[in-house]
Structure 1
C-alpha cells in the first residue's frame, strides 16, 4: 500500500492518464505556433485580418451573422446578458442554480452590471419547458448551459430545446447559449452547430475545454448584437493589444479536434460502462451524453484515494488527480475524455477496473 503518496503525485507518475489531452503546459502553444508563418501580422486591439478571419470562420460554423473573439467566457457571457437587458430595459435574467455565472464568478453579473438572476429548476436536474413556461418573473434573457456541467453534463432532449426556443421568441425573451462545451454535444444530438445555434439569439463557445487551446472564447449573434459586444469588450479591458496566442491555439486545435468529438463521446460511454460495473460506483449521467461525466464513489474520500494510489502504482494507469468530498462516505470527480484515452492499453484498463471492483467489494 502507498497511502503516503498524494493522489495528485501518483497520478502524475502514471504512465497512462485516461482523461484530457495531456498536460496544459507551454507545449500546447508551441505546437500550435508551428503552423504559423513568423511573418504573419498579429491582431491589434481587436482589429486586423488575423482576428477578423477567425471570427468570420467561427460565425459561419455557428450559423450566426457575426462573431467576436474574447479572452474569456466569463467576460463574454456577462456582456451578452448585459446587452439583452439593456435592449429590453429590464435587468433580470434566468438560469440554472448551478450556472457558472452564479457559482464561479464572484457575483460579477450582479456587482458589475446590477443584473438580478432568477434561478430556475432544482439544482439536481436540468431546466425543462415547464420551468420556463411557469416562470412568474418577467425577464430579458434566459441562459441555457448545454451540457449542464455541475450535474454531470446532462442535456435536455432536442425537442425540449426547440419548445423552449419557440416559447422565448413568442414571449419576447432572448435566449442565450452557454455553449462552453457545444462542440462536445454535437454527436449526441446528431445536429450541426448551426442547427443548435439557430435556436438561440446569442451563443458563447470555449476554446480551451474540449478543443484544448490555451484560452479564449467566441461570442456570436446578429450584427447589431456583436457590434455592441465589441464596445463592452473594450469597456471590460478585453481588447488586449494582441490576442494572437489564444487565436492561434484556438484555430489549430479546432481543426485538429473538431472531427474527433464523436470518438471522445464513444470513449466516454465505454469508460462510464467500466465504472458502472464496479461496486459502490456510479456515473452521472449513467450513459454520458458528451465526452464528460461525473464519477461518484459511495465510500469515503480517504478510502478511495488510498485505493486509487495503489492502483496507479500497480497498473501504471491514472484515472484522476483529485476527488471532491460530498459527505463523510462519498466523493466524486469529473471526467473529460480527450486525446489521451485512445492510447491507454485496453487490457490494462480493464484490469484496473477489475482490481477497483475487488477492492471496493471488500
Structure 2
C-alpha cells in the first residue's frame, strides 16, 4: 500500500463521516470562522496582554477560584516560571517531579537547563506519588509537582482523599504544591470536586487552552497575586510577552464556553467506549474504567499493521477508529491512546465492537 504519511492520515481523517478517537482537524479557514463566532472582531485587539487576554485571565481565575491568572504562549514556559518561583522564594533549587511527568519527558528538562533546578523523584511507579512518599523524600523540595492526570502512566488520577493528603504532606514538608493541570478540565468528574476546590489544594495551577478545550494555543498559570506579578516579569524575560495574542485568547474563551460544559459527558461515554473495546479479542484497556475521557488500548497486532488497517478503514469506509499505534515491549502487541470526545458520543457499544472487529480483521491481513 502507499506510504502511511501524516498528510495522508490527516486527509483521511477529515473525510471520515464517523470518528471514534479524537476530532476532525480544522483547516485554517475553518479556524478563522471560529474566530468570527468567538468574539467581537470589531473590538480592538490586545496590546502586550490587555483586552481579550485580560478577559481570559480573569475568566480562568474565576473558574479556579484563585486571586489571579497569567496567560502564557506555552505551557512549558508557564511551568518553568512556577518552579522558578518556588525555588526563588525558598532558596532551594530542588523540585519533586515524577519521571513520567511532562517536565521530564516533553519539556527537554527546561527546569534544569534554563533555571538551574534539579529534580528528585518521589516514586517511579506509574501513578502520582503518595503522601507517605512525599514525607519520605530524602531531601527537601521547594515545589512538589502533581500532574492531573498523569498522561504517560495512562491518564491516571489519585482519588480526592489521596490528592488532599498528598498536598498536605507536601506543605508539611515545607514545599509548595504545583498542579500540572493541562488536562485538569477532564479530571474534575473523577475527583468529584469543583475546579475551585481542586485548585484550592495547590499553590499554583497550570492549565492548557488547546488540550481538551480546542483553542489555538496558550496556557495560564493561576495562583496568588504575588505569583502573578512574578509570572508576568518572568514571562517577559523568557520571551513570552507577545505583542498580540487575541486569536489564541478568543478561541480559549470559546472553548471554555463550548467544550468545558460537555466534558463530564465525554468522561461518562469514555467508560462505555472502553468497556466495549475491552471485549475485543486479545484487547486490554487501562485504566478500566478510565479516569478521564482518555485511556490506553492494547491490541495483539504489530503497530504497523494496526496503523495501516486504520488508515485503509478510514479511506474505504469513512470511519476513523484510532491511530498512533506504537509497538510495546511485548512482541506483536501495540498500544494507542484513545480520546472519546464529541464525535465519539454517537457511537454505541455495539458500534465500537463491530468496527473494532473490522479493524482487527484488516490488521490480521497485513
Matches within 5 A, 1:89-238: 89-238=91-240
Q: Structure 2: which 5+ residue stretches go unaligned?
A: none
1:338 to 2:341 alignment:
yes
Q: Give the match for residue 301 of structure 2.
A: 299
Matches within 5 A, 1:59-98: 59-98=61-100
| 1:41 aligned to which of 39, 44, 67 | 44
- What CA deviation, in whole Å up to 9, does each residue of 1:168-209 have, x standing for no partner? 222221000000000111111221100100000000000111
| 1:6 aligned to which of 4, 16, 34 | 4
Change (3 A) 1:272 1:347: closer
TM-score under structure 2 length normalisation: 0.91
- What CA deviation, in whole Å up to 9, does each residue of 1:242-301 have, x standing for no partner? 111110000011100111011110121111111100122111112111111111223322
**How many residue pairs were aligned?**
359
- CA offset at residue 105 of structure 1? 1.5
- CA offset at residue 356 of structure 1? 4.5
1:351 to 2:339 alignment:
no
- CA offset at residue 57 of structure 1? 1.6
| Aligned equivalents of 1:293, 1:170: Cα separation in 2 | 33
| Aligned equivalents of 1:73, 1:148: Cα separation in 2 | 15
Change (3 A) 1:310 1:14: same
Range with greater deviation from structure 2 (10-19 or 33-42): 10-19
| Aligned equivalents of 1:346, 1:297: Cα separation in 2 | 18
- CA offset at residue 73 of structure 1? 0.4
| Aligned equivalents of 1:94, 1:167: Cα separation in 2 | 13
| Aligned equivalents of 1:171, 1:110: Cα separation in 2 | 22
| Aligned equivalents of 1:239, 1:279: Cα separation in 2 | 52
Partner SS state of residue 280, structure 1: coil
| Contact 2:98–2:122 (Cα < 8 Å) also in 1 | yes
Q: Give the match for residue 266 of structure 1.
A: 268
Aligned Cα RMSD in Å?
A: 2.2
Q: Give the match for residue 324 of structure 1.
A: 326
| Contact 1:315–1:352 (Cα < 8 Å) also in 2 | no
| Contact 1:279–1:361 (Cα < 8 Å) also in 2 | no
| Aligned equivalents of 2:21, 2:362: Cα separation in 1 | 22
- What CA deviation, in whole Å up to 9, does each residue of 1:320-355 have, x standing for no partner? 232122233222111222221124577544421343
| 1:28 aligned to which of 20, 27, 31 | 31
Q: Relative contact order (C-alpha < 8 Å, sep 6+): which is higher? A: 1
| Aligned equivalents of 1:360, 1:296: Cα separation in 2 | 13
| Aligned equivalents of 2:32, 2:268: Cα separation in 1 | 28
| Aligned equivalents of 2:199, 2:32: Cα separation in 1 | 29
Range with greater deviation from structure 2 (187-196 or 124-133): 124-133
- CA offset at residue 4 of structure 1? 4.7
| Aligned equivalents of 2:32, 2:91: Cα separation in 1 | 42
| Contact 1:28–1:213 (Cα < 8 Å) also in 2 | no
| Aligned equivalents of 1:21, 1:312: Cα separation in 2 | 14
Partner SS state of residue 69, structure 1: strand
| Aligned equivalents of 1:224, 1:55: Cα separation in 2 | 15
